[in-house]
Structure formats: C-alpha cells, structure tokens
C-alpha cells in the first residue's frame, strides 16, 4: 500500500509494508522536492529516523539501473 500527498513545496509518497510475509519493515517516506529527493525510514532498534538524500541526477541513474544488467554505466544527458 502507498499514499501520495502534494504539499506546498514537495510531493510525499509513503510506502507501507503490509501482508502476511513477516517480518514487516517500517514505512518508507519519500519526499520529492524541486532539487532533490529524500528517503526516510525509522530504525526500529534506535527509533531514529534515517535519511538518504539523492540529487535528481542520482535519482535518474537509480531509475535506469533498475532495468539494466550488472556492469558500470554512465548515462548521457541530452542538452535542452
């Protein structure tokens, strides 16, 4: 299950782990800003929020990497 919320300066997507497969993990909150994307998840051991920040270039590379075989790649950017 997931939710999408549009806020003033960002879009927030929350991924909820549900189902019968155990163990379930903490929710993941992805916040897309104009210049970066953050990914937050609570560490159940420390109860602290862990955050990863990706630039938009890193996010594009991640999206491309999900569909490629093992290897080293550099994406070419088309000048606009």
For 43-62, how does the pLDDT look when each residue is reduced to its tens digit (9 = 90+)?
999 999 999 999 999 999 99
**pLDDT value of position 39:** 98
Whether 80 has a pLDDT exceeding 80, the answer reads: no
Q: What string of DSSP letters covers 17-78? A: --SSSSS----EEEEE-SSEEEEEEE-TTT-PEEEEEEEHHHHHHHHHHTTS-SS---PPPP
Q: Per residue in 8-45, pLDDT tens?
A: 999 999 999 998 888 889 999 999 999 999 999 999 99
């Amino acid at each position: 299950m997931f939710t999408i919320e549009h806020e003033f300066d960002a879009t927030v997507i929350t991924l909820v782990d549900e189902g019968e497969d155990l163990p379930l993990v903490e929710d993941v909150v992805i916040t897309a800003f104009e210049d970066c994307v953050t990914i937050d998840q609570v560490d159940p051991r420390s109860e602290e929020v862990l955050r990863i920040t990706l630039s938009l270039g890193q996010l594009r590379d991640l999206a491309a990497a999900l569909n490629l075989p093992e290897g080293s790649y550099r994406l070419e950017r088309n000048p606009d």
